[in-house]
Amino acid sequence: MYDAREQQNVSITPVDVSLLNTAVNIMNSASNPAQQFNGIIYFTDVSPDNTERAFRLENGSMLPTASVPVDSPNNVRGFSVASDAGIYIRGDYNTYAGAAPVPSAVLADAVMILSNAWNDANAANPLYGVDNPASPGNIIAGSARAATATTVNTAIMAGTIPTNYVNPNTGVTYGPSGGAHNFPRFLENWTGVPFNFTGSMVQLFTSAIFTGAWTTGNIYAPPIRNWSCNQDFVKHPCPGVFCFSSYSRGAWRRY
Amino acid sequence: MHKITSFAAMLALCATARALDLTPQYVDMDADGLRIKLPSFQDGAKRVFIMPPAGWRIEGSSLRAFLSSDTAPGANVTFLLSPKPMLPKDEAGQKSVGAALLALAEKDSENVKLEAEQPDPLPINGWKTYLLRISYDIAGTRYAKSVMFVRLNDCEELQVFVSGPATQFTKATSAAMTCLRTWHKK
C-alpha cells in the first residue's frame, strides 16, 4: 500500500480483528483462567529487507476481549495491540453498537488512521483525484482519496516526528511536526468529514521507522475533529499498558 | 492516414492543453492550523502546490524552476518543462537518454559512470517516470547528476535534474522527490 506521507509503498499485513474474536472466544472457553485470552496481542515482522512494514487493523468494530467482568481485579478486560512496526487502523474501531467500547490501546512506531472509505487502489493517486484527460479540468470519478466519517475509540501510544527533525538517511531537515492534533496520521481528504475519537494519546518516542515528514498538501486534508478523552481509562486501564505511580518534572521540549 | 490525423489532433490539443508555468508564486495557506507560505505554479485555471523541505528556496521562470539550499552547498535541483517528450519508450530510447546524460558530465571529469537506470521510480499520480543517474570525479571530488523524466499528462513532461557533490546529492535528491511527491493541484 502506498503511504503518501512515507513517500513509499509500505508492506502491509492485514489483521482481521473480527476473526480474532472467534479465536478469542475459543481461548476464553478454557476452564483454566491462565489459558484464557489476556487481552494483549503483539505483532512483529522479521522479514529481512528494508521495506517499511506495518500491520493494518481491519473490521475492528467489535474487539475481542477477555471474558472476565469489567471490574475484575486484574483489569485484563479489553484489547491492546502492540507492534514495533507501524499500525494502520482502517475504518471504525471499537464501536460495536451492542456494547460499550472496551478499554483499548494501540501501541506502535506510528499510528495511521484510514477512514471507512479507504481504497488501496487510490493510495498513490493525487489527494483530490486524477485529472481526466478526456475532460480537461475535471478529475476521474472515484479516483480521489476521499474519506468518510469514521469513529475510533482507543488509546494511542506511539512515536512522532518532532519539529526540525533531521532525517538521518537523507540529511534533510523537516519543518513543523504538525502538532498534537496530527499525532494520529491522516492520508485522505477529510475536508468537512468528521473523525470521531475517544481515547487518549501518549507520545513515547521519536518514530524510528515511519519517519515521513508532516505536511498537508498531497498527503491529507484535515478532518472535523470530534475528539474527547476517555476518562474511563482511570478505572479501567487497557490490558498490558503500564500505570505509573510517580512522575517528575522535566525540561520543556517542543514537538 | 488515420495515425497522421490522430497525431495532428494531438498536437492541436497539446497546443492548448500546455498550461503549466513554472514561475513560482508563494501563496499563504492554512495547513491544518498552521499558516505557511507555499510555492505554487499556475496550471490553467488551477494552481499546482509543492512543499519543498525546510530551508530550500525556489526561483524560476515559465519553463524552468530552480531549487537550492544552504544546507546542501553545491547541490541544486532544476525542474525543466520539456518542450518535447523525452521519456524513453523502449530500449533504444533508454540508450539514447543514457548517452545524453553521460555527455552532461562536466568537462575534464574522470571516471564517468552510469550508476542507475530505473523505469517508473515514482509510481504516483498516474505519472510515467524514468530515472537515470551518473557519477564522476572532478579534481578529486566525486559528483553525481541525475535526471528524472516525469510525464505529467499526454502533453506535458517535466525533466528533473539533480546535481552536486556526492556528499550532498542524497539531500538534494530527497528535496526533489519531496517536491514531486507533494505536487498537488487545487
Sequence spans of domains, chain A: 2-234
Question: And the C-alpha cell for B142?
Answer: 566525486
Q: What is the CATH number of the domain that holds B114?
A: 3.40.1000.10
- Does any domain span residue B4? no
Q: Higher pLDDT residue, B117 or B18?
A: B117
Question: And the C-alpha cell for A150?
Answer: 469514521
- Does any domain span residue B6? no
Q: How far is B49 from chain A (nearest CA, A)?
A: 7
Contact pairs from chain A to chain B, CB under 8 Å:
92
H or E element that contains B68: strand B64-69
Q: What is the pLDDT, as a whole number, of residue A94?
A: 95
Q: How many domains does chain B have?
A: 1
| A253 half-sphere exposure, CB direction, 13 A CA radius | 13
Is B175 at the interface with chain A, CB within 8 A?
Answer: yes
Tens-place pLDDT, residues B30-46: 889 988 888 999 998 88
Put simply, the answer to whether A131 touches B153 (Cβ < 8 Å) is yes
Amino acid at A28: N
Put simply, the answer to whether A213 touches B34 (Cβ < 8 Å) is no
For residue B125, give the nearest of A125, A178, A181 by CB distance. A125
Is A18 at the interface with chain B, CB within 8 A?
Answer: no
Q: What is the pLDDT, as a whole number, of residue A194?
A: 98
Q: What is the pLDDT, as a whole number, of residue A73?
A: 55
Q: State which residues form the domain around B143.
A: 19-185
User: Is residue B82's pLDDT more than 60?
Assistant: yes
Residues in chain A: 255
- Nearest CA to A23 among A65, A59, A75, A80? A65
Put simply, the answer to whether B182 touches A217 (Cβ < 8 Å) is yes
DSSP letter at A237 equals P
Q: How far is B181 from chain A (nearest CA, A)?
A: 7
- Nearest CA to A150 among A179, A187, A106? A187
Is B89 at the interface with chain A, CB within 8 A?
Answer: no
Q: How far is A236 from chain B (nearest CA, A)?
A: 33
| Chain A residues closer than 8 Å to B170 by CB | 169-171
pTM: 0.86
The stretch B147-169 carries a mean pLDDT of 92
For residue A191, give the chain B residue with the closest CA. Answer: B32
Put simply, the answer to whether B32 touches A216 (Cβ < 8 Å) is yes
DSSP letter at A245 equals S
For residue A9, give the chain B residue with the closest CA. Answer: B123
The tens place of each residue's pLDDT in chain A, 255 residues long, gives 999 999 899 999 999 999 998 888 888 887 777 788 888 999 999 888 778 899 999 999 999 886 665 555 555 578 999 999 999 999 999 998 776 788 999 999 999 999 999 999 999 999 999 888 888 778 899 999 999 999 999 999 999 999 989 988 888 888 889 999 999 999 999 999 999 999 999 998 999 999 999 988 889 999 999 999 998 888 888 888 877 667 788 888 776
Q: What is the pLDDT, as a whole number, of residue A27?
A: 85
The stretch B1-26 carries a mean pLDDT of 66
Q: What pLDDT band is residue B108 in, cutting at 50, 70 and 90?
A: confident
Q: Of all residues in chain B, what percent carry a pLDDT higher than 70?
A: 90
For residue A173, give the chain B residue with the closest CA. Answer: B54
| Rounded distance between C-alpha atoms, residue A99 and residue A82, angstroms | 24
